[in-house]
């Protein structure tokens, strides 16, 4: 099969992904083989490729927002008939036995395996996934629009829950990429008012067109303090101004898997009056099911830019440079 393979980590500007033929994978017990049609790209892919995360598996095929059809089933796999359309997301396996898994917090599992990091992902014509960790994709979404939901959507959904947005409240979003543009649609559907703070002019125009009540670069310019906020940009220096722009009792959720260091803060300005800071770590399968269900009801319409698999390096270079509006999606087959 054709795949974009990472042999060693390095800056995406050096085009570290190598497109080549590799053996087709085979499904093991409880797994399904998926013929991948499309795969979304996100900043987590960049963090894997550039070595920002602790060393995983190398060589590895990145990609964890894959949409495709079940081609074959391993022993004991019976959840999805052949030909079913399924999604493959970041959480590729959880142990099921640690205290976190038993408590329903598998996103904090002590022995997780992540797609495109510990196991081969979906920048390839075929991928294997445990059937228990695959998602049935609602008919409401074409393949390309479904792909960003599997990471950008799921993490945004969990971040929104962690931010504890009150009914009819005001939500501030910092950064306006793939995940934020999905969260904006969720928040507006739930009756919230949204402010968007982002440096890119094209992103600001997009946020305004999608219904944000205020869009700008400096959170100090917001018309009023927000009830809740989500920081999507992996920039720690934004944490203090985001906290200063929160109401008393408000919550800031940090949605990135990787972030630059957070600078020192003034306690009275940033944390007093019971302001909260919460991180977001991966997701549970319940998060994924909940997001797909709500997204289909709205329905959410992710804005996508398509690239052929052969241009995976270029697509990720554009993502790093903030030159993609909405979500980038690789067309595989």
Q: What DSSP string runs through 34-91? A: EEEEEEE--HHHHHHHTT-SPP--SSB-----EEEEEEEE-TT--SS-TT-EEEE-SE
Q: Are residues 28 and 12 in the same domain?
A: yes
Cα gap 104→89, rounded to integer Å: 18
* Domain of 198, in residue numbers: 154-279
Q: Are residues 240 and 171 in the same domain?
A: yes
Q: Are residues 247 and 189 in the same domain?
A: yes
- pLDDT for position 300: 95
| Strand pairing category for 91-93 and 85-88 | unpaired
Structure tokens at 45: 């892919």
pLDDT more than 70, % of the chain: 100
Q: How many domains does one find in the chain?
A: 2
Return the C-alpha torsion angle 282, 195, 200, 309, nearest 10: 40
- pLDDT for position 325: 86
Q: What's 67's domain CATH number?
A: 3.90.180.10
Q: Are residues 164 and 261 in the same domain?
A: yes
Whether the Cβ atoms of residue 246 and residue 275 lie closer than 8 Å to each other: yes
| Strand pairing category for 17-21 and 91-93 | unpaired
Cα gap 119→328, rounded to integer Å: 22
Cα gap 188→268, rounded to integer Å: 31
Whether the Cβ atoms of residue 155 and residue 96 lie closer than 8 Å to each other: no
Q: What's 231's domain CATH number?
A: 3.40.50.720
- pLDDT for position 333: 83
Cα gap 181→204, rounded to integer Å: 11
Under-70 pLDDT residues of the chain: none
Cα gap 294→268, rounded to integer Å: 38
């Amino acid at each position: 099969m054709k795949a974009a393979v990472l042999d060693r980590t390095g800056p995406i500007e050096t085009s570290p992904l190598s497109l080549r033929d590799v053996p087709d994978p085979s499904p093991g017990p409880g797994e399904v083989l998926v013929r991948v049609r499309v795969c979304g790209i996100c900043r987590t892919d960049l963090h894997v490729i550039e070595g920002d995360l602790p060393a995983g598996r190398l060589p590895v095929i990145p990609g964890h927002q894959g949409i495709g059809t079940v081609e074959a089933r391993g022993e004991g796999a019976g959840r999805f008939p052949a030909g079913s359309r399924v999604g493959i997301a970041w959480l590729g396996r959880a142990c099921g036995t640690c205290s976190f898994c038993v408590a329903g917090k598998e996103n904090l599992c002590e022995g997780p395996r992540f797609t495109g990091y510990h196991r081969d992902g979906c920048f390839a014509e075929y991928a294997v996934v445990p059937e228990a960790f695959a998602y049935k994709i609602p008919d409401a979404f074409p393949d390309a629009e479904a792909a960003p939901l599997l990471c950008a959507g799921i993490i945004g959904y969990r971040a929104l829950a962690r931010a504890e947005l009150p009914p009819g409240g005001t939500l501030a979003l910092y950064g306006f990429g793939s995940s934020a543009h999905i969260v904006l649609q969720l928040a507006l559907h739930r009756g919230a008012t949204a402010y968007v703070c982002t440096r890119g002019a094209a992103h600001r125009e997009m946020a305004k067109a999608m219904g944000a009540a205020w869009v700008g670069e400096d959170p100090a310019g917001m018309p009023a303090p927000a009830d809740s906020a989500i920081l999507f940009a992996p920039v720690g220096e934004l944490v203090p101004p985001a906290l200063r722009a929160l109401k008393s009792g408000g919550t800031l959720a940090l949605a990135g898997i990787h972030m630059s260091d957070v600078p020192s803060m003034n306690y009275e300005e940033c944390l007093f009056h019971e302001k909260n800071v919460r991180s977001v770590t991966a997701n549970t399968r319940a998060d994924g099911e909940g997001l797909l269900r709500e997204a289909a009801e709205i329905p959410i319409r992710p804005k996508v830019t398509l690239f052929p698999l052969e241009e995976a390096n270029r697509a990720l270079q554009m993502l790093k440079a903030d030159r993609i509006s909405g979500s980038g999606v690789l067309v595989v087959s």
